[in-house]
C-alpha cells in the first residue's frame, strides 16, 4: 500500500491498473506505473472522484470515513416529477408552532454537507440560532424600527410598513444560517438544503433582511458567534407550513440563447 501520510491510499493487491481513476482525477495526481495506480499528491483537492470510480474498491481517502455506500443515480428519480416538484415550491411565510424534529434537521444539514464547493473547499458551515433565535430577531427588529443604520432604500421601506416582533422569522421554530467565504458555495448548499426540507414536508423562507442585519450589526455578529473572515450568505427560516398552495405559479418566458 501507499504511505499512510498520503491523502489517497491505493491497495495495490486490489488495483488492476485500469486507469479509470487516473483519467477522472481533476488534479492529475494519479499515474500508472508497473500496471498499478499510484498517488503523486501534487495538487490533490480530495474530491473523491478516484474513490468513487474505482471498480475494485482499491482506493481509500485517509482523511475521511469511507463507508463504501453505493451510488444512487439521479436518473432513478423521474425527471418530470422532480421538475413539477421544483416548480411547485413556494416561499413560506406562515408557519405552525410544531417543532422540527432533530432527525429532519440532521437530513437538511447533511444535504448541505454534500453540495458541491469550488475546488472542493468544503468551506460551508452552519449556525442554528436555537436558544438565541428570539434575541437575534429582537436585535434586527430594533434596527428596522430605528432605521438609522439601514441603507436609505431599506430605511424608506421600513418606515412605510409595520415591523412586528416576528417580522424576520414569522414564528418559525427553526433558523439556520449558512456561512462561508464563498457566496457561491453557500448558495449551492442552501439550494440542496431547501430541496431536502421541502421533501420532508417543511416550508422555507430566505430572510434576506436578516442577512443584511448581520452586515451592519456588530452586536448581532457577536451573538451568533460569527467567525472572523466568514459571512452569513443565507438565513433559512424553516418550519411546518400553515398554508397550502393549490397550483403552480406562472413565470416569465425563458431567457436563453445558444452561441
Task: Note whether 156 and 234 are same-domain residues.
Answer: yes
Whether residue 164 sits in one domain with residue 118: yes
**C-alpha cell of 188?**
449551492
189 in a structural domain: yes
Q: Are 3 and 39 in contact (CB under 8 A)?
A: no
Same domain flag for 204 and 109: yes
The pLDDT value given to residue 67 = 85
Q: Which residues contact 88 (CB under 8 A, 6 or more apart)?
A: 245, 248
Asked if residue 168 has pLDDT above 90, the reply is: yes
| Residue 2 domain flag | no
pLDDT for position 188: 97
Tell me the per-residue pLDDT of 23-62, one tens digit each, with 9 for 90 and over: 999 989 999 999 999 998 668 899 999 999 999 999 999 8
> Does residue 228 share a domain with residue 103?
yes
Together in a domain, 32 and 101: no
**115-143 b/e with 16+ CB inside 10 Å = b?**
bebeeeebbbbbbebeebbeebbebbbeb
The model's pTM is: 0.90
**Confidence check: pLDDT of 4 > 50:** no
pLDDT-based confidence at 250, cuts 50/70/90? Answer: very high
Domain for residue 254, yes or no? Answer: no
CATH number reported for the structural domain that contains residue 18 in this entry: 3.30.70.20
Domain assignment of residue 176, yes or no: yes
Residue 201, phi-psi category: left (phi > 0), alpha (psi -120 to 50), beta (remainder): left
Q: Which domain holds residue 166?
A: 76-239
| 143/232 same-domain check | yes
128 and 50 share one domain = no
Same domain, yes or no: 35 and 83:
no
Amino acid at each position: 500500500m501507499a504511505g499512510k501520510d498520503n491523502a489517497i491510499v491505493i491497495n495495490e493487491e486490489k488495483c488492476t491498473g485500469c486507469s479509470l481513476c487516473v483519467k477522472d482525477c481533476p488534479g492529475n495526481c494519479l499515474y500508472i506505473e508497473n500496471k498499478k495506480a499510484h498517488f503523486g499528491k501534487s495538487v490533490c483537492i480530495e474530491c473523491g472522484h478516484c474513490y468513487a470510480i474505482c471498480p475494485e474498491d482499491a482506493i481509500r481517502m485517509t482523511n475521511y470515513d469511507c463507508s463504501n455506500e453505493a451510488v444512487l443515480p439521479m436518473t432513478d428519480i423521474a425527471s418530470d416529477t422532480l421538475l413539477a416538484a421544483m416548480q411547485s415550491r413556494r416561499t413560506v411565510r406562515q408557519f405552525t408552532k410544531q417543532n422540527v424534529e432533530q432527525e429532519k434537521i440532521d437530513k437538511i444539514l447533511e444535504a448541505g454537507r454534500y453540495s458541491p464547493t469550488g475546488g472542493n473547499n468544503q468551506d460551508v458551515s452552519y449556525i442554528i440560532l436555537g436558544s438565541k433565535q428570539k434575541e437575534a430577531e429582537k436585535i434586527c427588529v430594533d434596527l428596522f424600527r430605528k432605521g438609522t443604520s439601514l441603507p436609505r432604500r431599506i430605511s424608506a421601506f421600513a418606515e412605510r410598513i409595520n415591523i412586528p416582533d416576528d417580522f424576520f422569522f414569522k414564528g418559525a421554530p427553526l433558523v439556520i444560517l449558512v456561512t462561508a467565504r464563498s457566496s457561491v458555495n453557500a448558495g449551492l448548499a442552501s439550494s440542496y438544503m431547501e430541496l431536502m426540507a421541502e421533501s420532508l414536508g417543511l416550508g422555507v423562507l430566505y430572510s434576506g433582511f436578516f442577512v443584511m442585519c448581520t452586515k451592519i450589526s456588530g452586536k448581532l455578529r457577536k451573538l451568533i458567534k460569527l467567525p472572523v473572515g466568514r459571512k452569513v450568505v443565507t438565513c433559512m427560516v424553516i418550519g411546518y407550513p400553515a398554508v397550502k398552495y393549490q397550483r403552480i405559479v406562472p413565470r416569465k418566458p425563458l431567457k436563453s440563447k445558444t452561441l
